Amino acid sequence: MNDIYAIIFDLDGVICTTDKYHYLAWKALADSLGLPFDEKVNGLLRGVSRMESLEIVLGEHSADYSQEQKTALAARKNEIYKSYLSAMTPGDLSKEVRSTLYTLRQRGYLLAIGSSSKNTRQILRQLGLGEFFDAVADGTMITRSKPDPEVFLLAASMLGVRPENAVVIEDAESGVRAAKAGRFRAIGIRTEGNDPNSDITIRHLKNLTEIL
Ligand code: BG6
Ligand code: MG
C-alpha cells in the first residue's frame, strides 16, 4: 500500500479476543431475559456501542423496557463483561499480535487504536499496552459509534495524519464501513466473504507485515 504512514487498529477482535467476552456477557443477559441470542446476533454487535447493541439484543421487545431499565440492563451487561476483563493479563496478548505490532513500529508507522469501547483504556493496561500506542481514540471520546467514522477521524487527527495516509484494521463490517466513510483505506481481518467494502482482507494480523 502506498503513502501509508499510520495504522489505526480496532481493539475488540483485532488486538485481543475480548469479542468472545462481549458474546458471553450479552448471552448471559439475554438468557436472563428469556431472549434468543446466538453468534449471528453477536456478529451484528461488533463495532457497535453498548446502548445500540442493547437495542439489537432486545429487538422487538425494546418497547417493553423504559430508558431507565435499559440503562440498568446495559450496566449489568458491562459488569458481567468486566468480570471477564479483570482476569486478563499481558499473557493474554498473543505472541503473534505482539510481534506484529513491534515489527510495524520498527518500520516507522504511527500506531493508534480506534475503538467504540468505553473499556479500551482498561483493556490496554491489562494487556501491558497502556503506553504503547501513539494515540488512543475510544468510546469515551465520541458521540457516534461505527459505522460513523468519528472515532477513526479522531485517531488520525491525534496522530496528525490525513485519512488518505492511514489504514484501518477491522474485524467488523460496521468498522470497515466507518473507515471507508472517513476516506481511510481498510483491511478486514477474518471478514472474508462477507465484507465487500474492505480494500484487502487478511486471515491473521501477522499477514499485515506482508502488506505494509
Ligand atoms: C466495540 C465492540 O469494540 O465496543 C462492541 O466491538 C461493543 O461489541 C463496543 O459493544 C462497546 O464496548 P463497551 O466496552 O464500551 O461496552
Ligand atoms: Mg472489533
Give percent above pLDDT 70 in the chain: 97
Whether omega before 149 lies within 30 degrees of 0, making that bond cis, reads: no
Query: Which band of pLDDT confidence, cut at 50, 70 and 90, is reported for residue 25?
Result: very high
pLDDT of residue 73: 98
CA distances from 199 to 5, 105, 145, 163, 177 (A): 17, 22, 21, 14, 11
177-201 tens-digit pLDDT: 999 999 999 999 975 555 668 899 9
* Confidence at 56, pLDDT banded by 50, 70, 90: very high
139 lines ligand 1 (CB under 6 A): yes
Is residue 185 within 8 Å of residue 4, measured between CB atoms?
A: yes
Return the ligand 1 atom nearest residue 47 CA: 6
Q: Which residues are catalytic?
A: 10, 12
Give φ, ψ of 137 to 5 degrees. Answer: -110, 130
pLDDT in tens, 104-144: 999 999 999 999 999 999 999 999 999 999 999 999 999 99
Cβ of 145 closer than 6 Å to ligand 1, yes or no, is: no
* pLDDT of amino acid 1: 87
Interval 159-165 mean pLDDT? 98
Contact yes or no for 93/16 (Cβ under 8 A): yes
Q: E-assigned strands of the chain?
A: 6-9, 110-114, 135-137, 166-170, 185-189, 200-202
Q: Read off the C-alpha cell for 153.
A: 477521524
Identify the bridge partners of residue 113 per DSSP, sorted by sequence position. Answer: 9, 136
pLDDT confidence of residue 190: 75
Q: What pLDDT does 58 receive?
A: 98
Rounded distance from Cα 143 to ligand 2 centre (Å):
18
Q: What is the pLDDT of residue 197?
A: 80
Q: What is the pTM of this model?
A: 0.96
122 CB less than 6 Å from ligand 1? no
> What cell was used for 185?
483505506
pLDDT for position 195: 65
Q: Is the CB of 78 under 6 A from ligand 1?
A: yes
- Cell numbers for 211: 502488506
**Sheet containing 110-114: which strands, arranged edge to edge?**
135-137, 110-114, 6-9, 166-170, 185-189, 200-202
pLDDT for the residue 198? 85
State the chain's mean pLDDT as an integer.
95
pLDDT tens for 80-105 read 999 999 999 999 999 999 999 999 99
Ligand nearest to the CA of 23: 1
